[in-house]
Amino acid sequence: MCGIVAYIGPKEAYPILVKGLKRLEYRGYDSAGVAVLNGALHVYKKAGKVSELENYTIGKDVSATIGIGHTRWATHGVPNDINAHPHLSNSGNLAIIHNGIIENYDSIKQELIKRGYQFHSDTDTEVLVNLIEEVRKQENATLEDAVRIALNEVVGAYAIVVIDRNNPNQLVAARKGSPMVIGIGENEFFVASDASPIIEYTKQVVYLDDQEYTVINRDGSFYIKTLGNVIKSHAIQKLEMSLEMIEKGGFEHFMLKEIFEQPKVIADAVRGRMNAQDGWIKLGGINEYLNKFANAKRIIFSACGTSWHSAMIGEYLIEDLARIPVEVEYASEFRYRNPIINEDDVIIAISQSGETADTLAAIEMAKERKAMIYGICNVIGSSIARASHAGSYTHAGPEIGVASTKAFTAQITILTLMALQLAQARGTISSSKLREILVELENIPAKIERALKLDEQIKEIAAIYKDSSNFLYLGRGYNFPVALEGALKLKEISYIHAEGYPAAEMKHGPIALIDENMPVVFLATNASAYEKIISNIQEVKARKGKVIAVVNEGDKHVRSLADHVIEVPATEEVLSPLVTIIPLQLLSYHIAIMRGCNVDQPRNLAKSVTVE
């Protein structure tokens, strides 16, 4: 986590850094800082949001044309002014910003202490900058060489930028396991965790690969080398992102904007990838590996959080439609539990950010065991996308709200296309059924539009239950992962304890929780389990629980039992998560707002979890 940004060029660095940090705040927001170099090296840092830093720097000397900035998600040391980045070396000559974790920092720290170094913060980053300083002293090395040698001694993940008080004409930046992009402007360069701080200045970028570093000079020259000191050629890429995409566009919060973007997101996700009339599907990446997929003994999904919920829906879709056995793994468990992986397994990693440390490590492990890796990512050029043999982008546009919404529905859309394409290739679906589902997939954006119109009604329900301490979310079949996702949305942004369960599991434990204070959200749209879910609703009502039911438009039966019904347009059961999740996203959004929570930047969280 953490966001980093750096600038060198003819412009004032400070405003570029601060604006960049605000855009990167989704990556961490417990403290922020900048270092600017104008003869003297000025470091300003503050606990809290970037706005606290801005207030703190009012009237201070920030005028410089080179600088580095950081917004933090604490790993080592509590969020306070001292632990905030940038960190200085003992001599005060070097300043560093760092996104990642240095795992062997403690042993290095003890060694440096023996050599007389003093530490002021609790961070691993302060250890790294002093290690670079020590290497530089011992080896009489240039900054570039010192950074490279030091990085070869550390274990862990990093994206770092280092500047030297005595050289205002150079930045040295390196990455391993944490993202980094270099923006190339007119006689100016930017370095950042993602392209959002860069987009308004240049569209020309280079993505640094793992274990690479760059030396950027004010005279306009720069080069990239591996940590083994081998020069690397680099391809300059054109950013597809626009400024509009990373702004709120009239919505009060990014989360709300992203919820309302979903009709367009689904339409974009299927564009050019299917044709309902002709009954074809061409998902990039699957085509080249169709045989591998179609003959796979097993598909294993690996993901975290919301992306793991998408993976569960992927399991239901692929087993149901294409009849290939599927397993769904939490990446954090998968990577460490010595799983059995065969060459004829296909591993699908799902990740919005494409940077989640556990998911990335899981696919690296599976790759070593010769499995084929398919990545479903939103962020173009992200580490997981690049580490995969093939894959599909979700093309949902930047998702900035920490709570994932549009990325979830975009992932499910891709998984639906994948399941259908595999089903077609394996002959497990009739062409008429295939066309029926594809036609309905084309109708989904309009159905989501209709579901979004329920916003006011959902707001009223939110007002009734906003002070509840607990929520249960229950669903069956395709709606079970939706229940899990609904519960995650509520807890992460409103801090209300919420749990999702398969509806039938309720009587094996959670039913003990039900009383008149327990709101239970039922997903009651699937025809295949309708009668059974009615029984589950009755079981809750018999114990005085409050029932909020998401049903198909026109449903009378559930209405007669539930305290509140939210009517969404009916659709094919395999597509139902795309519609039923919408009211749950809105419910959590409104409850969080009514509780005064910061929905875009919930406490303790960060958008992309690049640490274990």
Smaller CB distance to ligand M6R: residue 206 or 377?
377
Residue 81 — φ and ψ, nearest 5°? -60, -40
Residue from 4, 304, 422, 514 in contact with ligand M6R (CB under 6 A): 304
Tell me the one-letter amino acid at 104. N
Smaller CB distance to ligand M6R: residue 492 or 600?
492
Token readout for 18 is 């601060």
The beta strand positions in 165-317, using DSSP E, are 167-176, 181-184, 189-192, 204-207, 212-217, 222-226, 231-232, 237-238, 274-275, 280-281, 298-303
* Shortest distance in whole angstroms from residue 59 CB to ligand M6R: 38
Q: Is 526 in the site for ligand M6R (CB under 6 A)?
A: no
Residue 329 — φ and ψ, nearest 5°? -125, 135
Report d(CA 136, CA 134) in Å as an integer: 5
Query: Which residues are 37's β-sheet partners?
Result: 41
Q: Is 601 in the site for ligand M6R (CB under 6 A)?
A: no
- Give the binding range for ligand M6R (CB under 6 A) out of 90-98, 286-294, 335-343, 350-358: 350-358
Rounded to 10 degrees, the C-alpha dihedral 432/434/440/441 comes to -160
Q: Are 532 and 475 in contact (CB under 8 A)?
A: no
- Give the binding range for ligand M6R (CB under 6 A) out of 43-51, 208-216, 401-409, 508-516: 401-409
Smaller CB distance to ligand M6R: residue 168 or 602?
602
Residue from 196, 353, 479, 536 in contact with ligand M6R (CB under 6 A): 353
Report d(CA 449, CA 94) in Å as an integer: 53
Residue from 89, 302, 306, 416 in contact with ligand M6R (CB under 6 A): 306
Q: Is 383 in the site for ligand M6R (CB under 6 A)?
A: no
Residue from 89, 121, 202, 351 in contact with ligand M6R (CB under 6 A): 351
* Shortest distance in whole angstroms from residue 586 CB to ligand M6R: 15
* Shortest distance in whole angstroms from residue 608 CB to ligand M6R: 5
Q: Are 172 and 186 in contact (CB under 8 A)?
A: no
Q: Is 193 in the site for ligand M6R (CB under 6 A)?
A: no
Q: Are 539 and 506 in contact (CB under 8 A)?
A: yes
Q: Is 608 in the site for ligand M6R (CB under 6 A)?
A: yes
Residue from 305, 397, 481, 577 in contact with ligand M6R (CB under 6 A): 305
Report d(CA 278, CA 129) in Å as an integer: 60
Smaller CB distance to ligand M6R: residue 351 or 571?
351
Residue of minimal CB distance from ligand M6R? Answer: 305
Instruction: Name which of residues 462 to 521 contact ligand M6R (CB under 6 A).
Output: 488, 492
Q: Are 341 and 297 in contact (CB under 8 A)?
A: no
Residue pointed to by tokens 């993940």:
157
Q: Is 403 in the site for ligand M6R (CB under 6 A)?
A: yes
Smaller CB distance to ligand M6R: residue 406 or 476?
406
* Shortest distance in whole angstroms from residue 536 CB to ligand M6R: 26
* Shortest distance in whole angstroms from residue 378 CB to ligand M6R: 8
Residue from 171, 199, 216, 402 in contact with ligand M6R (CB under 6 A): 402
Smaller CB distance to ligand M6R: residue 162 or 410?
410
Q: Is 413 in the site for ligand M6R (CB under 6 A)?
A: no
* Shortest distance in whole angstroms from residue 306 CB to ligand M6R: 3
- The 40-47 sheet, strands edge to edge: 40-47, 31-38, 66-72, 3-8, 189-192, 181-184, 204-207, 237-238
Q: Is 609 in the site for ligand M6R (CB under 6 A)?
A: yes
Smaller CB distance to ligand M6R: residue 136 or 491?
491
| CB count in 10 Å sphere of residue 389 | 17
Q: Is 352 in the site for ligand M6R (CB under 6 A)?
A: yes
Smaller CB distance to ligand M6R: residue 64 or 488?
488
- Which of 360, 293, 568, 344 has the alpha carbon at shortest distance from 457? 568
Smaller CB distance to ligand M6R: residue 196 or 307?
307
* Shortest distance in whole angstroms from residue 549 CB to ligand M6R: 24
Token readout for 54 is 């801005």
Catalytic site positions? 2, 607
Residue from 99, 359, 494, 526 in contact with ligand M6R (CB under 6 A): 359
Token readout for 266 is 């689904």
Token readout for 336 is 């460490």
- Give the binding range for ligand M6R (CB under 6 A) out of 53-61, 201-209, 351-359, 440-448: 351-359
DSSP 373-433: EEEEESSTT-HHHHHSSEEEE-------SSS-SHHHHHHHHHHHHHHHHHHHHHT-S-HHH
Tell me the one-letter amino acid at 255. M
Long-range contacts of 240-243 (CB under 8 A, 24+ apart): 240/380, 241/195, 241/196, 241/199, 241/397, 241/398, 242/199, 243/199, 243/200
Report d(CA 404, CA 354) in Å as an integer: 13
Smaller CB distance to ligand M6R: residue 123 or 307?
307
- Give the binding range for ligand M6R (CB under 6 A) out of 20-28, 240-248, 264-272, 300-308: 300-308
- Give the binding range for ligand M6R (CB under 6 A) out of 27-35, 92-100, 188-196, 398-406: 398-406
Residue from 307, 416, 536, 601 in contact with ligand M6R (CB under 6 A): 307
Q: Which chain residues interact with ligand M6R by CB under 6 A?
A: 304-307, 351-353, 356, 359, 402-404, 488, 492, 608-609
